[in-house]
Structure 1
Amino acid sequence: MSGVLAAGTHRCHDVITAVSAAVDAGVKWIDTAPNYARGMAEVPLREVLERHPPVGVSTKVGFVPASDRRAAISAGVLFGQQSRRGHCLSRPYIAWQVDLSHARLGRAPDLVFVHNPENAASTRDEVLRALTSAFEEMETAADAGLIHGYGVATWTGFSSGLFTVSDLVFLAQRVGGWRHHFHAVQTPVSLVHLGLVAKALRGGGLLLHAREAGIRVFTSAPLGGGGLLALMTPELVHFIDPSATPAQAALRVALSAPGVSHVLLSASTPAHWAEALGAAAREPLPPEHLRRIIDVLGT
């Protein structure tokens, strides 16, 4: 497969059970954020990470969990409008959030994503200024050993044209030089988000530009938060892969996308992970078959 499965915690109700099932099944990467699981996603991971040191972990900065708001205000890193918006990319808040994640996880995160920077401003110039400041703080944290690298996780930033991979690499080089610590992006790819795959198959777009720049691509919501399974008719499953289950058929498309390094999945049981890893163990869908899928479903 082009990509490998990683454990996402966005929709996990019981983080420790879901992540333990993933790691026991052989998953080597966990993605989380301070605002996931009602602000309680990071703390349970410490136990899993201590038991499995080789497992990589990524977290995020930007959103203001309700559970942390009062502490951030008391620490003097969050103020009125930022608190009301629920999102902040100021350097003091990022530094505070990185320190908190480091303490909760019990180790330096392998990656810290700037989370949905499109929430920080409304225009391209404003977003790029916010990202420049955020990258400066990330480079400081990396130099101090508090993180090993950083990236940008976005839902609409790429698709709306607010920024490109080239923009992000340019900012990282300007802030951190040629030895910068910008290593990854995260964005949705699924049967209902096929635009990036279509561009890659035509020889361009984010997925190929990231690969050319040595930037890892983490894709989110491969099953649409579970909602995509209701759209997996027997005819669609058979068209993608006659031998697959509905979940496997959907996952195979995300896993086969050119340039994808990790596909984040929020699965909660050993049976779900066994099913998903069965899809990941297969050869990638050929480019010509991906093109046929896109022709049928659109982007």
Structure 2
Amino acid sequence: MTAIDTAFNYLGFASHATLARAGGDLLSAFTVSTKVGYFPASGGRARHSIDPVELRAALVRTIRDLGRAPDVVFLHNPEASMAAGDRGQEQLAAACGVLAEAALVGACGAWGIATWNLRAVAALATPLPAVPDVLMVRSGLLVGHEVLVAGEILARRWDVPVERRWGMSPFGGDLAGPPWRWSDPRIFLADAAGEPTAVQAAFRVAFELPMVGAVAVSTDRPDHLRELVDATGLAANAEFIGGYRRLLAERSARQIC
């Protein structure tokens, strides 16, 4: 394992300090990515903002708590507080400007956008003054056709190569619930040699839906993490995955009609 992904608001806004304390000198051996966009609110809750002043303050605290500049900083779910129309375009442009400037002065190695509902971002018509180096989107078998297409549109628009497209939430948050209890994603593997698990198959396929170079996943079990790392060596069945994409597109077309 060589990369760690976190966020300003994780672990009750204490993830950076906790990571620095736990990792110590070893942290410099890892690529560290994080996200800014959520801030403390009353009652222990979090509120979302892409206000440039707050984003700059979050970056300063991030470097202080980590004890180093992060390798990548994502604008965290900008759609959560973007206004509609031109105002939303202005807000997103200003927020992206803050992160682009941070990368320019060395406050982070690169910057990107991590978006849960990227259709709102993809719908903006005016080009951004600065485009992200990295794009993080939902990936895996539970992602719908519209979200897959929107991510691919953004990647092409911003000329983000596959290795800098990252996936997240490959299991939809819960491996114990449906559809994982009654489905077998191993049908999407090109070769089932070695008896891979259904979890491994679902994780491997998340690199194909959409095509991404990395997938962020959380776990508190070393054995589960080892299982997922081993899954990256599996081969996917391109024909079956292409057929699945066509089924998703047909289902979406029927719903629109």
TM-score where L is the length of structure 1: 0.70
In structure 2, the partner of 1:62 is 37
CA offset at residue 295 of structure 1?
A: 4.9
Q: Is 1:276 the counterpart of 2:228 in the alignment?
A: yes
Q: Which has the higher contact order (CA 8 A, sep 6+)?
A: 1
Equivalences for 1:223-262 in 2 at 5 Å? 223-227=171-175, 230-233=178-181, 236-241=184-189, 242=192, 243-257=195-209, 259-262=211-214
Q: Is 1:113 the counterpart of 2:74 in the alignment?
A: yes
CA offset digits 1:173-196 (Å, max 9, x no partner): 6xxxxxxxx311111112110527
Instruction: Please report the RMSD computed on the Cα atoms of aligned residues, expressed in angstroms.
Output: 3.2
Query: Among the aligned pairs, what percent are the same residue?
Result: 28
In structure 2, the partner of 1:286 is 237
Instruction: Output the CA distance in 2 between the equivalents of 1:265 and 1:92.
Output: 30
Instruction: Output the CA distance in 1 between the equivalents of 2:155 and 2:197.
Output: 29
TM-score where L is the length of structure 2: 0.80
Note the residue ranges of structure 2 that are not aligned, 5 or more in a row.
253-257
CA offset at residue 205 of structure 1?
A: 2.7
CA offset at residue 39 of structure 1?
A: 1.7
Aligned pair in 2 of structure 1 residues 104, 237: CA closer, same or farther (>3 Å)?
same
SS in 2 for 1:112: strand
Between the two proteins, the alignment pairs up a number of residues equal to 244
SS in 1 for 2:65: helix
Instruction: Output the CA distance in 2 between the equivalents of 1:185 and 1:256.
Output: 15
Contact 1:210 1:217 in 2 (8 A): no
CA offset at residue 30 of structure 1?
A: 1.2
- One-letter amino acid of the counterpart of residue 222, structure 1: P
Note the residue ranges of structure 1 that are not aligned, 5 or more in a row.
1-26, 70-83, 174-181
Q: Is 1:186 the counterpart of 2:136 in the alignment?
A: yes
Contact 1:198 1:291 in 2 (8 A): no
In structure 2, the partner of 1:267 is 219
Contact 1:223 1:229 in 2 (8 A): no
SS in 1 for 2:38: coil
Instruction: Output the CA distance in 2 between the equivalents of 1:157 and 1:117.
Output: 9
